[in-house]
A = this chain, B = another copy of it.
Amino acid sequence: MNLSPLVQSFVLHFGEMGSRWGINRTVGQIYALLYVSEDALCAEEIVEMLGISRSNVSMSLRELQTWNLVLLRHKPGDRRDFFTTPSDVWAILRTLAEERKKREIDPTLSVLRDLILVEAGDEAERHAQARMAEMHGLIEQLVTWYDDVKTLDSDRLATLLALGAKVTRLLEAKDRLTRWPRRTDEGA
């Protein structure tokens, strides 16, 4: 691996993390490398820097593309593909959330919906369905929240995060206000 120690540590850590998620070590390493590189890199550069085969790079980049995590760039008079990551970390977060939802949450919701509708044969099945319904309900709440929140621009999202739990106190405060005869703002 032909990298400065600083970048190498970062890349290796992401390799580890990659395997702890679904994505594999190489994919994680390539992503990390692209993320910290100032300029877009071509496949051959990645081969040299990470010391892995050309084909592995090709397949891993393809994988990253299916996740929408890398951008393809071209330079005039050069027919190689160059790769980068989006520079806005909030945008990256959105993409990651969206893709993970698509791969992990949506299929589960779909299975749960289907199974809850099956006619239960006995008490055990009825209980199982009740449990599935609880899980389904929880996930739906989370997804509803997510679908709502993802419409916010990054600034507002940051504001919302900064508020955190104070939101509920705020809500209760506002509740007290708006319940009063004197209306001070339009209800939301």
Contacts and interface: CB of A to CB of B under 8 A. Distances in A.
Size class of the contact patch on chain A: 35 or more
A66 interface: no
Interface string A148-172: 1101100010111111111111110
| Number of copies of this protein chain within its complex | 2
Given A103-B20, A108-B13, A124-B4, A148 B165 contact: yes
Given A36-B128, A90-B138, 19 more contacts: A4-B125, A6-B118, A7-B128, A10-B132, A13-B108, A17-B104, A20-B104, A21-B21, A35-B135, A36-B132, A37-B128, A38-B124, A141-B158, A142-B161, A152-B168, A163-B171, A170-B174, A173-B174, A173-B188
28 contacts: A4-B122, A6-B115, A6-B121, A6-B125, A6-B128, A7-B128, A10-B115, A10-B132, A13-B107, A17-B104, A17-B107, A19-B22, A21-B21, A36-B127, A38-B123, A38-B127, A89-B137, A141-B158, A142-B161, A144-B164, A145-B161, A149-B165, A160-B167, A160-B171, A166-B188, A167-B170, A173-B185, A177-B184
